[in-house]
């Protein structure tokens, strides 16, 4: 059965106050909306929505996390990255929560860190990067762990692109790498098929496939898409467009609940097309499709 491709209905949009230069990346419901920064590895933020406004507010300050020891760069781009960025530049790209703490995934180190309510952070023991590189993942520049979600006792990590995949981390330290079944009619416009955000809601896995400007609901365990909601017409509309889109779609974080689908955008500190001095990040609130 083919997945239905559905134009997204927008319920609200928010230019997030205090987010200029932050590079919003990752989104999750933890009693409230929380997000992280690709550029500031020391803070977890809340996104406080009040009427037509949304504000980025510091929530938890991280401490105790150092660059993990071990793996050496595998190509020239990784070597240059290590050479010119400090070891503390974790590039967090995914976040999810449970009752006693928060998880974040580092795109740079391809490791998951667990953060207590006091902000103390520790790397989990899972080390998956060397093994999945042998399978052809994580070999390109700026292509690592992105989205993150907990389903039952397992953590799922989105591997961004070329090829994209899903990493299922099990509590005993084992892991699986899974491919996403393609969706007929989902248009990536010649850009790489990518995967940047994850959430779990209503017994299904939701995937943010930002180069197609889409959120897909996928069944477990098979991962076939039941439907995909396309929001391209909202992201590229004059009131929401940025001056430049360097890498395709800017969607960088996904959260889903009974109120709808929330997507945050990482604009890499690029200005809005209509308001050149405004470099705030964007969040869209989309309606769940009717009848599904």
Condensed to tens digits (0 to 9), the pLDDT of residues 37-46 reads 988 989 999 9
Tens of pLDDT, residues 212-267:
999 999 999 999 999 999 999 999 999 999 987 665 668 999 999 999 999 999 98
Mean pLDDT of 15-27: 94
Cis-peptide into 118, omega within 30 deg: no
CB 181 within 8 Å of CB 225: yes
pLDDT at 56: 97
Least confident of 28-42, 72-86, 136-150: 72-86
CB 229 within 8 Å of CB 286: yes
Burial of 184 (0-12, 13-18, 19+ CB in 10 A): exposed
pLDDT at 84: 52
Burial of 105 (0-12, 13-18, 19+ CB in 10 A): buried
pLDDT confidence bin for 5, thresholds 50/70/90: very high
Q: What percent of the chain has pLDDT over 90?
A: 72
CA–CA separation, 181 vs 142, rounded Å?
Answer: 23
Tell me which residue has tokens 């150092």: 66
pLDDT at 142: 74
Quickly list H helices, the chain.
Answer: 76-84, 129-133, 232-235
pLDDT at 252: 95
Mean pLDDT of 161-169: 94
Mean pLDDT of 136-161: 90
pLDDT confidence bin for 167, thresholds 50/70/90: very high
Chain centre distance of CA 50? 24
Is 90 exceeded by the pLDDT of residue 172? no
Q: Are strands 204-209 and 214-218 parallel, antiparallel or unpaired?
A: antiparallel
How are strands ordered across the β-sheet holding 260-265?
24-30, 32-37, 43-50, 53-61, 10-17, 282-286, 260-265, 251-257
Tens of pLDDT, residues 56-106:
999 999 999 988 876 555 555 555 656 555 555 688 999 999 877 899 999
pLDDT at 77: 55
Map residue 181 onto helix, strand or coil. Answer: coil
pLDDT at 67: 86
pLDDT at 198: 98
């Amino acid at each position: 059965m083919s997945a239905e491709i559905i134009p997204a209905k927008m319920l609200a949009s928010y230019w997030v106050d205090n987010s200029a230069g932050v590079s919003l990346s990752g989104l999750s419901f933890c009693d409230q909306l929380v997000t992280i920064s690709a550029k500031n590895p020391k803070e977890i933020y809340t996104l406080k929505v009040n009427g037509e406004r949304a504000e980025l507010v510091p929530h938890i300050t991280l401490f105790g996390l150092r660059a993990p020891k071990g793996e050496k760069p595998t190509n020239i781009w990784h070597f240059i990255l290590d050479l010119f960025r400090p070891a503390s530049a974790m590039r967090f790209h995914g976040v999810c929560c449970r009752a006693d703490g928060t998880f974040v995934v580092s795109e740079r180190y391809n490791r998951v860190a667990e953060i207590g309510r006091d902000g103390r952070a520790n790397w989990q023991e899972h080390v998956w990067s060397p093994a999945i590189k042998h399978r052809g993942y994580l070999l390109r520049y700026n292509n690592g762990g992105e989205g993150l979600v907990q389903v039952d006792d397992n953590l799922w990590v989105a591997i961004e692109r070329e090829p994209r995949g899903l990493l299922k981390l099990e509590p005993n330290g084992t892991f699986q790498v899974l491919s996403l079944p393609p969706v007929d009619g989902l248009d990536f416009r010649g850009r790489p098929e990518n995967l940047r955000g994850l959430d779990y809601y209503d017994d299904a896995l939701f995937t943010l496939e930002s180069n197609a400007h889409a959120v897909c609901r996928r069944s477990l365990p098979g991962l076939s898409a039941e439907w995909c909601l396309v929001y391209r017409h909202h992201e590229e509309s004059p009131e929401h467009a940025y001056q430049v889109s360097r890498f395709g779609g800017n969607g960088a974080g996904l959260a889903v609940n009974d109120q709808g689908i929330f997507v945050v955008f990482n604009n890499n500190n690029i200005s809005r097309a209509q308001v050149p001095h405004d470099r705030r990040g964007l969040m869209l609130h989309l309606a769940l499709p009717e009848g599904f």
